[in-house]
Amino acid sequence: MNYDAALFDLDGTLLNTIPDLADATNAMRVQMNMAPLSVDLIATYVGKGTENLVARALAPDLGASATDEQIRTGLDIFYRCYHLINGDKTAVYAGVVEGLSELREMRVKMAVVTNKPTEFTLPLLQRSGLAHYFDAVVCGDTCARKKPDPLPYLHGCELLDVQPARAFVVGDSMNDAQAARAAGITVLAVPYGYNEGHSVHNLPVDGIVPSIADAVQWAKAH
């Protein structure tokens, strides 16, 4: 293999977190006297961080008129609700454990790079049984800027002590594709995630793979 490290997005790539995110989002809306939204709609709001998720979840009722105070209130409620259920309905995608285990056997360094806040990411990795695979975790509040900025992926490479050219990224969205491209890192996409409702086949990526296990085989062949 020509790669020394692999960096993974979390939501929509390693874990299906939509059920928990939707429950917390709708709990927030109900507490703010709004009707629940469909899970499929909420899924299109995921990917650019919690603040973006909350703002977009308030938009059907408040639109662009949502005040900073309303968004802060929504965030406070969402955080409280999500802390209570984080991981309850989350599932590890097929092929994840197999792929991560093979990389670990090959002594490839691994990191999670996510826009999810640290206070949710670390407990979720522990609860899902994936934490022990990773040498580093970069969260939405680790760096000054989130994906699609390249900074989080570049920081992940620094933590792993590898050059970007010797790493590959696996993600599920435009955020991952743009960030990895700007960082000079090979990037693969899985088709089952949360690309804001859009197909990954239009993303500027080096390959589309059915699973994390398939991503490892791709990396071994390239």
CA 75 to chain centre: 18
pLDDT of residue 114: 96
Mean pLDDT in each 10-residue stretch from start to end of the chain (222 residues)? 96 97 98 96 89 92 84 96 97 98 98 96 98 98 97 98 98 96 98 88 96 98 94
Q: Which residues are known to be catalytic?
A: 9
Q: Give 155's contacts (C-beta < 8 A, 6+ positions apart).
A: 138, 142, 143
Q: Give 181's contacts (C-beta < 8 A, 6+ positions apart).
A: 150, 187, 204
End-to-end CA distance of the chain: 7
Domains contained in the chain, CATH given = 5-16+90-221 (3.40.50.1000), 18-85 (1.10.150.240)
pLDDT of residue 184: 98
pLDDT of residue 170: 98
Backbone angles phi, psi at 168, to 5 degrees: -135, 150
What is the rounded CA–CA span in Å between residue 122 and residue 125? 5
Query: b/e string for 23-46 if b means 16 or more Cβ within 10 A?
Result: bbbbbbbeeeebeebeeeebbebb
- CA nearest 116: which of 85, 86, 95? 86
Q: Give 20's contacts (C-beta < 8 A, 6+ positions apart).
A: 82, 85, 86, 87, 88, 89, 90
Residue type, 191: P
pTM score, two decimals?
Answer: 0.95
